């Protein structure tokens, strides 16, 4: 029996290394000489999985290369145009470009207002600062144009990203429940402080000092296709209905897939295929 077990182990290891045919032939020859026949082992599933993994890696490398090429093209255009604007900064021509920059920022704002409401504070803070600067008397057109292009590039990139960030529950009457629970009892299950936060409290910090860390859950956006929210304990989740401008509760089945998607987006799980409960059209069909 030890000889039999050793042969089976050798065969399985060889299959994983991509030499399944040679190993199988050797194993069959040895089995004929053995008084006890070794049952055949199918290597097809392992070979198929290995091929699928190799194909997925190749596809992702191509996709990354295409995106990098696109980003480099965009960056080169931005740098070229910015250099042209800077060169004309001391001429009357630069002032003629100011209305164009203002119009460009106004168009970006229209897109952002009509967009899914993800990372609202970060995105609109940059927009508001730039828009305010453009209303001043001494506008550096070259700098304003550069910032407008950076804002535009950021908004374009959001359309390619699967991003996750912390935030409070989107339902008004449920917002800030975790922080409220911590104010009432820092040992409660809903408060759920981590070790670092507890050490801060033990060192003299107040719970109000930790308010910006005590969010209710996580948001995740799949480009501009879907925006979803998941409570920290995964007890509830919501999808933003862009047509109606309101949040809709997710089913238990949708919550299950969303948990894994959030972990991958936050870098807490290995990269894998993720599914998104996306609502298509007014019919309410979901796609993954």
Q: Residue 78 in contact with residue 202, Cβ under 8 Å?
A: no
pLDDT of 207 strictly over 50: yes
pLDDT of 183 strictly over 90: yes
Q: Residue 85 in contact with residue 141, Cβ under 8 Å?
A: yes
Cβ atoms within 10 Å, residue 260: 15
Residue 193 pLDDT class (50, 70, 90 cuts): very high
pLDDT of 119 strictly over 80: yes
Residues 66 and 119 both lie in one domain: yes
Residues 166 and 219 both lie in one domain: yes
For residues 178 and 57, the model is more confident at 178
Residues 77 and 98 both lie in one domain: yes
Q: Provide the mean pLDDT of the chain.
A: 78
End-to-end distance of the chain based on CA atoms, in angstroms?
A: 49
Domain residues for the domain of 182 are 177-214
| Pick from 156, 177, 272: nearest CA to 224 | 156
For residue 81, is it within any domain? yes
Residue 35 pLDDT class (50, 70, 90 cuts): very low
Residue 43 pLDDT class (50, 70, 90 cuts): low
The pairing of beta strand 278-280 with beta strand 162-167: unpaired
| Pick from 235, 200, 201: nearest CA to 217 | 235
For residues 286 and 116, the model is more confident at 116
pLDDT of 118 strictly over 70: yes
Q: How many domains does the chain have?
A: 4
For residue 287, is it within any domain? no
Residues 170 and 255 both lie in one domain: yes
Distance CA 60, CA 122 (A): 29
Average pLDDT over residues 268-277: 64
Residues 152 and 201 both lie in one domain: no
Residues 72 and 140 both lie in one domain: yes
Distance CA 145, CA 96 (A): 12
pLDDT of 86 strictly over 70: no
Residues 64 and 98 both lie in one domain: yes
Residues 226 and 142 both lie in one domain: no
């Amino acid at each position: 029996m030890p000889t039999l077990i050793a042969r089976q182990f050798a065969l399985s290891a060889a299959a994983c290394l991509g030499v399944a045919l040679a190993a199988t032939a050797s194993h069959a020859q040895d089995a004929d000489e053995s008084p006890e026949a070794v049952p055949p082992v199918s290597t097809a599933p392992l070979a198929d999985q290995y091929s699928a993994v190799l194909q997925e890696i190749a596809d992702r490398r191509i996709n990354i290369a295409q995106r990098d090429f696109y980003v480099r093209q965009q960056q080169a255009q931005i740098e070229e145009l910015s250099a042209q604007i800077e060169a004309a900064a001391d001429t009357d021509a630069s002032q003629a470009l100011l209305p164009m920059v203002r119009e460009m920022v106004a168009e970006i704002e229209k897109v952002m207002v009509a967009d899914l409401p993800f990372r609202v504070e970060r995105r609109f803070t940059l927009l508001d600062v730039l828009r305010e600067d453009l209303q001043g008397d001494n506008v550096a057109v070259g700098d304003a144009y550069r910032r407008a292009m950076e804002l535009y590039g950021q908004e374009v990139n959001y359309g390619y990203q699967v991003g996750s960030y912390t935030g409070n529950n989107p339902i008004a009457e449920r917002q800030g429940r975790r922080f409220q629970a911590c104010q009432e009892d820092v040992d409660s299950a809903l408060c759920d402080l981590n070790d670092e936060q507890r050490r801060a409290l033990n060192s003299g910090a107040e719970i109000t000092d930790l308010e910006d860390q005590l969010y209710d859950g996580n948001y995740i956006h799949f480009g501009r296709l879907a925006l979803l929210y998941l409570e920290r304990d995964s007890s509830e989740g919501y999808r933003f209905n862009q047509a109606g401008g309101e949040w809709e509760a997710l089913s238990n089945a949708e919550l299950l897939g969303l948990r894994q998607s959030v972990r991958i987006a936050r870098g807490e799980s290995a990269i894998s295929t993720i599914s998104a409960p996306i609502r298509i059209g007014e019919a309410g069909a979901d796609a993954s």
